[in-house]
Amino acid sequence: MAVDTQTVEKLAELARIDISEETLEEVSHRLGEVLQLVDQLQAVNTDGIAPMAHPLEEEQTLRIDAVTESDRRKEFLALAPQTEEGLYLVPKVID
């Protein structure tokens, strides 16, 4: 499928992409090649082939949901300049 330069200019305008006059012909040629590839893929006979939700027939291995670190909240709060009731106090930046 051929893509003319006018179509590329219109697509570039809609996508807010600046394509120079020097590369306009090359871009239209490359878009035409991509569309030819899509046409080629659509022409493949897929009758009798079951669709796949995932290319691998494997299950995801999950790790055990367990706590691996100790509670260091009090240590971290002690490093902060200001805290109140277990929360960090920060200066107001937006009125």
Residue 60, SS3?
Answer: coil
Ranges of each domain in the chain:
5-42
% of the chain beyond a pLDDT of 90: 67
Strand ranges (E), 1-95: 83-84, 87-88
Rounded CA-CA distance 5/16 in Å is: 16
Contact 32, 1 (CB under 8 A): yes
pTM over 0.85: no
Interval 75-87 mean pLDDT? 94
How does pLDDT run across 52-78, given as a tens digit for each residue?
A: 777 677 777 888 999 999 999 999 999
